[in-house]
Amino acid sequence: MADQEIILTNASVEVDDETVTVEGNSIAIKEGQGESTTKAASNGGNIVVVTSEDITTKIGMVKFEMPASVNSMNLARDFKARGAGRVVRVSGLDPAGNRLGRTLTQGVMTNDPEKAIQSEGKVEVTFEGAPLAAS
């Protein structure tokens, strides 16, 4: 087993097969495997653990920020206008050559981002859809 692991800090984001310019340290994903709850119950005086899966949380998510250039602002507007049915891919290689690849299908841009027209401005974009698939 490797005695050192290096965190992946740069990845590629594609929306509908087009690469997107993203701010550093801004990409975040949620696999959409869902949340589970546990509670204790009594069975004849014995304590049993009851678990349940909340299927309403099985939502995949890809979130990132774009520099607030005019191009990015228009792109974010375009993403929103396209509505549902987007495919978003995130992929990257760490320095050791380990690959991360995730694909969000049935995606829709859920947020309505504030677009700051200023130095260092950013446009935050969030896509949600089916649980992420490894790719």
Q: 16 or 94, CB closer to other proteins?
A: 16
Q: Give the interface segment with other proteins, choosing from 42-50, 64-72, 103-111, 120-128 (CB under 8 A).
A: 103-111
Q: Tokens 């509908």 belong to which residue?
A: 16
User: In Å, how far from its chain's centre is CA 80?
Assistant: 16
What distance in Å separates the CA atoms of residue 17 and residue 2, rounded to the nearest whole number?
Answer: 34
87 forms part of the interface with other proteins (CB under 8 A): yes
Measured from the CB atom, the residue of 100 and 121 that comes closer to other proteins is 100
> Nearest to residue 120, comparing CAs of 28, 8, 27, 24?
24
The CA distance from 111 to 87, in Å, is 16
For other proteins, which stretch binds (CB under 8 A), given 21-29, 31-39, 61-69, 82-90?
A: 82-90
Helix H or strand E encompassing 118: none
Count of CB atoms situated within 10 Å of the CB of 10: 12
> What mask, x for binding other proteins by CB under 8 A, covers residues 23 to 62?
----------------------------------------
Q: What are phi and psi of 71, to 5 degrees?
A: -60, -45
**Among 24-32, 50-58, 64-72, 81-89, which window interacts with other proteins (CB under 8 A)?**
81-89
Q: Does 89 bind other proteins (CB under 8 A)?
A: yes
Chain positions contacting other proteins, by CB under 8 A: 12, 14, 16-19, 82, 84-87, 89, 103, 105-107, 129, 135
